Chains A and B, each alone.
Chain A
């Protein structure tokens, strides 16, 4: 069992607060992704868990052991570094065997583990080589093999794929995911690539400015972003945001976008009533808007600025008022640049957000979490 608990972690570099009172629990054998833009503190948090940078205050518990002040070697963890960090003066075999040798495992065990790890990463034929003679992709494989051969319950990965070229990254992503499901280790994976996060994680912790904004499953983070930032950071294209004015029409709350009125569902009525007369963000994903070639009473007429055929779908750029939106359509949908288009907003797919704080407005936390 290796559950990882981070409690009220704070880390400052001079005046800059890299981790700002972060608490996070990673369940046993969970694949947790720390996602955020550069400088958000995700790597600092990982290093604190690894023991490569001590926290100023707070606590790190791995399994049932408080490791906050322990050396990395006493934490029973293993790690894959961004720049691979494989030892250039050792053969691939010695690199993979390094941790086991330090642990003074018997020779037969070392031999067996190294070969097993090498086989999993398809580098059995490279064992006698030196890292200097290998490509970036092969070095990456050695780094992963070294980490899994060490056979710990916790595996930390610091942007392991970011130095690979695009095609190789795609290949390694799937391979890593398949590999890690076999291994039953608790994994923390740091990345700034939201697609990597969505495709690999059991849960994603989205970080910004040293804080965790949302920690949820990929689908939830994607569909129900906790705030404006998460919505705009995750997804390609990012979530669209429109400015809407909350208005009372007879006894019902409406959100007006230009001349067009949205009718929020019943459970949102009470919450939005507070914003009567104020602006709020109306968030909706590109694929959730319904493009129509013909006008209907409940649709909004827009002008198509750009059409980008992307193969599997077409991406349209439109504008509503001063807000620019991306709409994705079926490739067969008849849209022309400069032509007209009608958009229907499926009301349940809309994420309403406070215009000042950017926080998502939800009727009831339990209901959303359920």
Chain B
């Protein structure tokens, strides 16, 4: 046991130290660049949201002025009030909430059994069904626009809130089913088997063991469905005239309105997504295996 260099290396002590120092520098550099990249991405996403929020809470005069502010001084709810008092906005917001909640409920009711079947069972036509679910997304809704409108008119379902909810359910189901399936796939099958050994029927095992473990993930999927419906604009424009949802209403009046209306509308549309992401963050993290 000596403190000298190993006989196999021909490098001097100073040279070895230099190599070690260089390796450390490179390691630090790599870490620094990863952080820099992460910060850049965060700014890329957060900055527009922040600017929209600043505008929404500035006075209408400030919104029209130039240069724009970075912080809302003076803080004012005038712009938001102006937006909310516009004709039809509150009604549209109510429609949006009704459609989104109906979509959430229908979508979850269908997606839970469907997702469970896809996650757990190997049945004939399983891959075909999977593909079929995805293919709903493969058709651009523009292609379906005319036949859809015609069908809805013929069935006397045109311009109804519930008919838009049905449409949104069809649109969100692929995403919801696949998310729910991945949630169920994350619950070890052995747990279900254990439940069945210790006295459960398959249904009881599902209710007592699988559901409690899958619930957070299913809730996250449901909220995602809500946000998807809330943001959806094309089908909303297509299928409603008097019963417009919020994005349809905003889009409809966009070219006739000024900057304050646009910023306030943008902020209002952002709200549910931000609130819900804040609440489901924990579940999303656990789904992705990140520890806070």
Contacts and interface: CB of A to CB of B under 8 A. Distances in A.
Do the two chains bind? yes
A136 interface: no
Interface string B187-224: 01011011111111100100001001100000000000
A238 interface: no
A81 B204 contact: no
Contact of A81 (B193, B199, B212): B193
Interface of B: 188, 190-191, 193-201, 204, 209, 212-213
Given A52-B193, A73-B201, A85-B191, 11 more contacts: A50-B197, A73-B197, A77-B197, A81-B190, A81-B193, A81-B194, A85-B188, A87-B195, A88-B213, A98-B198, A102-B200
Contacts of B194: 79, 81, 85-87
A296 interface: no
Interface string A69-90: 0011100011101110111110
B13 to A, nearest CB: 39
B201 A87 contact: no
B196 A71 contact: yes
Contacts of B209: 87, 89
Interface in A84-131: 85-89, 98-99, 102-103
A188 to B, nearest CB: 13
Interface in A32-50: 50
A50 B198 CA distance: 11
Contacts of A86: 194
A73 to B, nearest CB: 5
B197 A78 contact: yes
A150 B188 contact: no
Contact of A72 (B188, B191, B196): B196
A291 B3 CA distance: 46
B253 to A, nearest CB: 49
Contacts of B196: 51-52, 71-73
A72 B196 CA distance: 6
Contacts of B213: 88-89
A150 B198 contact: yes
A86 B209 CA distance: 10
Given A87-B209, A88-B213, A102 B198 contact: yes
Contact of A83 (B188, B197, B198): B188
Nearest to B187: A88
B290 to A, nearest CB: 16
A146 interface: yes
Contacts of B190: 81-83, 85
Nearest to A150: B198
Nearest to B215: A89
B72 to A, nearest CB: 44
A146 B198 contact: yes
A102 B204 contact: yes
A51 B188 CA distance: 18
A97 B263 CA distance: 58
Given A85-B188, A85-B191, A87-B191, A99 B212 contact: no
A14 to B, nearest CB: 11
Contacts of A72: 193, 196-197
